[in-house]
Amino acid sequence: MQKQPTIRDVAQAAGVSVAVVSRVLNPGSGPVAAATRGRVNDVMKNLGYHPRTAARELKYGPPTTLGLLLADVSNPFFARLADQVVQEAHSRGIQVLLMTTQEDDQLESERLATLIERRVSGIIATPTGNNLAIWKQLQDLGTEVVFVDRSIPSLPEVDVVSIDNFESARSATAMLAAHGHRRIGIISGPASSTTGRDRIAGYRQALETAGLEQDELLIRHAAFRGPAGGDAASALLSIEEPPTALVVANTAQVTEVLRRLSHAGIDIPGTLSVIVFEDSPWTELVTPALTIVRQPIDLLARHSVQLALSNTQGKTSGKPSVIRVAAELVERSSVARLQLAK
Question: Residue 18 touches which of its own copies, DNA, none (CB < 5 to 8 A by kind)?
Answer: DNA
Cα separation, 154 vs 132, whole angstroms: 8
Of 30 and 156, which has the nearer Cβ to DNA? 30
Stretch that binds DNA, among 11-19, 68-76, 155-163, 313-321 (CB under 7 A): 11-19
Question: How many CB atoms sit inside 10 A of residue 104's CB?
Answer: 15
Q: What is the DSSP string of 164-202?
A: -HHHHHHHHHHHHHHTT--SEEEEES-TTSHHHHHHHHH
| 106 touches its own copies by CB under 8 A | no
Burial of 237 (0-12, 13-18, 19+ CB in 10 A): middle
End-to-end CA distance of the chain: 82
Question: Residue 192 touches which of DNA, its own copies, none (CB < 5 to 8 A by kind)?
Answer: none
Total residues in contact with DNA, by rule CB under 7 A: 31
Stretch that binds DNA, among 18-26, 64-72, 140-148, 194-202 (CB under 7 A): 18-26
Give CA separation, 167 vs 243, 293, 297, in Å: 22, 11, 17
| 13 touches DNA by CB under 7 A | no
Q: Among 17, 95, 102, 106, indicate the residue that binds DNA (CB under 7 A).
A: 17
Residues 6+ apart with CB under 8 A from 8: 18
| 19 touches DNA by CB under 7 A | yes
Question: Residue 22 touches which of its own copies, DNA, none (CB < 5 to 8 A by kind)?
Answer: DNA
| 258 touches its own copies by CB under 8 A | yes
Cα–Cα nearest to 277, from 250, 259, 301, 258? 250
Cα separation, 253 vs 193, whole angstroms: 14
Are 289 and 283 in contact by the 8 Å Cβ rule? The answer is: yes
To the nearest whole angstrom, how small is the minimum distance from the Cβ of residue 68 to DNA?
Answer: 24
Binding site for DNA (CB under 7 A): 4, 6-8, 15-20, 22-23, 25-26, 29-36, 49-52, 55-56, 58-60
Binding site for its own copies (CB under 8 A): 1-2, 4, 48, 50-55, 57-58, 61, 68, 72-74, 76, 79-80, 82-84, 86-87, 90, 95-100, 102, 107, 111, 113-114, 116-119, 137, 140-142, 255-256, 258-259, 262, 280-282, 284-287
